[in-house]
Structure 1
Amino acid sequence: MRAMWVSACLVFAVPAGLAANPPQVPDALTTIEAKATATHSDALLIQRGNETLLEMYACPTPEPVALMSATKSIVALAIGLLLEDGKLDSIDQPVSDVFPEWAQGRKRDITIRMLLDHTSGLQNVPNAGVELESAPDLVQLALAAELASDPGSSFAYNNKATNLLTGIVGRLAGEPIDTYVATRIFAPLGITQSTWMRDEAGTPMGMAGLAMSARDLAKVGRLLLDKGVAPGGERILGEAFVDMLTAESARSADVGLLWWRNAAWERYTLKDDADAFLVDKDVAADVREAVVAATGRTFTSKGELIDFLSQRLGPAWGDRYGAEITRRGIRLTDLFAQERGPTQAYSANGYLGQYLVIVPTQDIVAVRQIHRRETHAFPDDDYADFVSDVLRLAEVIEAP
């Protein structure tokens, strides 16, 4: 049975500091609340500075939720710890400095930065369930992977490569990443409840596996807004590294270092050669027809585009799209031309619709979480518009 919002958990307030703002502020919050309810969310939290604007849970006692791929963004913070602690000189160091077996061939050119911005070139199956979730040693699997492209030459989202980062942290920190992060980041932030899945070799996963509550995840967002300084004044991460996390990467304006860069607006239009591209890739006719149906349309968000595709492919659209598009290594930008406005927010995102969003100009931290369950309806329950709804809220709040 689907989780339902429990009224005893509901906190919905417009603080006095916002009361003088236009009526669009509570309207924007009401929109987010309504969509979070409709998408069967398990946790929702929106803060501005020290004020809570909206907080909702699906159970009386909120519990940690698996962050899925948002775990990657926490892994990136661990690399910042290595820099702060003097255990790593630069993210532009070759991975072979840590794993000497890569000091030959093209792999000697792969740097830690390339693992962080998805440009390593390592062979990767986009669906983690195909070859990663059952692998006994994810670090060794990444080390043994072939190269699909030259290191640093192109952006390609890569679960396999991010697992190698936890191995790097373990070697340089002298302890597993979960222990290192718990001591150096979570403890100063007052985070005491978290779990981190490990593979059979005992190494915490890098692609996913960390579970945290919404309030604790929001503390991580606040750490970035405060440029790496904990509430008590302790510097945890270097300010320069925090800036690097969200700076535009060399191969994609959408990403920094395992953090997503969210634009004020986006537009997606189907490329003229999309149909020929899909034919060349031997994509099944039903999926090809669903994509080509977008001809002549402009989509104002990725969520709107995904919703369009899902409606044409039906209830099993996720499986069809994954089998015919994702598993063939086809990216959305291979099919659709993307235009984007200025970057206004940064986020950690995960499967099923896990989000941590920060909007620096308005001092906003927003979290949406949902438990994995068999009744999850793709894409409806993913709340793909969460980031854009948070940005709309930011627009109607007066600058601090």
Structure 2
Amino acid sequence: MSNVALQQAVQFAIEHETVWDRDCNGPVWGVHQNDPPPWNRLYGPVHSRGPVSGTILVDGKTVMSWGEPKRADLTFSVAKMYLALLAGVAFDRGLIKNLNEPIGKTLKGIGFDQGNNALITWEHLLQQTSEWEGTLFGISDQADRYRAVTFGDKPNGKKGDARPLQAPGTYWEYNDVRINQLSLALLHLFQRPLPEVFREAIMRPIGASEDWNWVGYDDAWVEIAGRRVQSVPGGSHWGGGMSISSEDQALVGQMLLDEGVARDGKRVLSADWIKRMQKPCALAPYYGYLVWLNHDRKVFPSVPESSYFGVGAGSSFTWIEPENRMVVIVRWLNSAFADQFFGKVFQAITKG
């Protein structure tokens, strides 16, 4: 490994910071601004961000950190990966017995009871093929119909228009309202706040800090087992979401790299679940269970096909590269330069 080459890669990231303002009250900040009214506003709390930061692990050892790696910053849609981990906890505990069974058979009265919604399975939600229809905490799924994402196929309509819905499992669409519906379903499944379950089942076993925070929208409160509980979103599209440090994200990535085992040897998730997360969706082979896959190296051509990613707006990345035992966290990188940065890191670590 060339330390000089790795330092140059990090400097490249620092020089290509996101165009977003550091102040969350600035004119260029967030993705809600791209939504049609009335959904082009924040529904939950947010906070200002730090500089380009990151942490790189190789074989479980930190080889480079920069910026403010201990700062808990909003990670936007990387939180979807964390929902996938919670689904894995539910699966391993037997709370989800069949990923292809309609959710409405076991969870009643939360939006899976009628029409096409009654046909939606856990796998549909995890692969973003559910076509769930409804309004959740004041936001309609229509807000994210026809949504364009960097790595997906370009939609043939205008964002927020009433795209005709298809049968569950027949159409792929990146839709944050449907992800939040998954989060609500997991909340009802566990009968406990998801941050509590995440801390107990994932974060403490991997040795993470207690500095992270996962919050919901202002009006996202429901009653669970006699408690008033906040349902948390799988990102920060409309505010809320997961604030977490690069170092803690790296620990999550290392657990995934080690197929569900924490650094002390304790099993956190089954290896079977980690493999399921990386199974390509038939409709979108670049997507697994709420993670991006480097199918045919189309997402990031400069790194191996075995790589997979958590990706958040802004941009935040969790890159897991199994073949070379790498975990790379980078926060607030201009996404237009992500492939170049990853390529530089990959070359520095593998070629020297």
TM-score, normalising length: structure 2: 0.72
Residue 149 (structure 1) shift: 1.7
- Say whether residues 1:386 and 2:338 are aligned partners: yes
Q: Per-residue CA shift, 1:41-69, capped at 9, x if unaligned?
A: 431211111332321115xx831010111
Q: Distance in 2 between matches of 1:232 and 1:26?
A: 31
SS, match of residue 77 in structure 2: helix
CA contact (8 A) 2:303 2:346 kept: no
C-alpha RMSD of matched pairs (Å): 2.9
1:232 corresponds in structure 2 to 264
Work out which of the residue numbers 141, 146, 168 in structure 2 matches 1:151. Answer: 168
Residue 112 (structure 1) shift: 0.9
1:222 corresponds in structure 2 to 254
- Say whether residues 1:116 and 2:126 are aligned partners: yes
Q: Distance in 2 between matches of 1:28 and 1:341?
A: 15
Q: Distance in 2 between matches of 1:386 and 1:264?
A: 17
SS, match of residue 98 in structure 2: coil
Q: Distance in 2 between matches of 1:91 and 1:382?
A: 36
Q: Which AA in structure 1 matches 2:56? A: I
Q: Which AA in structure 1 matches 2:253? A: G
Q: Distance in 2 between matches of 1:243 and 1:184?
A: 19
Residue 127 (structure 1) shift: 5.4
Q: Per-residue CA shift, 1:3-24, capped at 9, x if unaligned?
A: xxxxxxxxxxxxxxx35xxxxx
1:140 corresponds in structure 2 to none
Structure number with higher relative contact order (C-alpha < 8 Å, ≥ 6 residues apart): 2
Q: Distance in 2 between matches of 1:65 and 1:222?
A: 19
Work out which of the residue numbers 71, 87, 95 in structure 2 matches 1:87. Answer: 95
CA contact (8 A) 1:347 1:357 kept: yes
Unaligned runs of 5+ in 2: 19-50, 134-140, 148-161, 222-229
- Say whether residues 1:37 and 2:15 are aligned partners: yes
Q: Per-residue CA shift, 1:286-333, capped at 9, x if unaligned?
A: xxxxxxxxxxxxxx96xxxxxxxxxxxxxxxxxxxxxxxxxxxxxxxx
Bigger share in helix? 1
Work out which of the residue numbers 327, 349, 355 in structure 1 matches 2:317. Answer: 355
TM-score, normalising length: structure 1: 0.64
Greater Cα radius of gyration, structure 1 or 2: 1
Q: Distance in 2 between matches of 1:342 and 1:126?
A: 35
Q: Per-residue CA shift, 1:61-99, capped at 9, x if unaligned?
A: 831010111111101100000011121112222121343
SS, match of residue 347 in structure 1: strand
Q: Distance in 1 between matches of 2:347 and 2:252?
A: 23
Q: Distance in 2 between matches of 1:345 and 1:69?
A: 18
Q: Which AA in structure 2 matches 1:92? A: N
Q: Distance in 1 between matches of 2:276 and 2:91?
A: 12
CA contact (8 A) 2:78 2:310 kept: yes
SS, match of residue 307 in structure 2: strand
2:116 corresponds in structure 1 to 106
Q: Which AA in structure 2 matches 1:350? A: G
Unaligned runs of 5+ in 1: 1-17, 20-24, 131-144, 268-299, 302-339, 371-380
Residue 117 (structure 1) shift: 0.6
1:187 corresponds in structure 2 to 204
Q: Residues 53 and 203 (structure 1 numbering): CA distance in 2 closer, same or farther, change over 3 Å?
A: same
CA contact (8 A) 1:43 1:62 kept: no
Work out which of the residue numbers 64, 82, 100 in structure 2 matches 1:74. Answer: 82
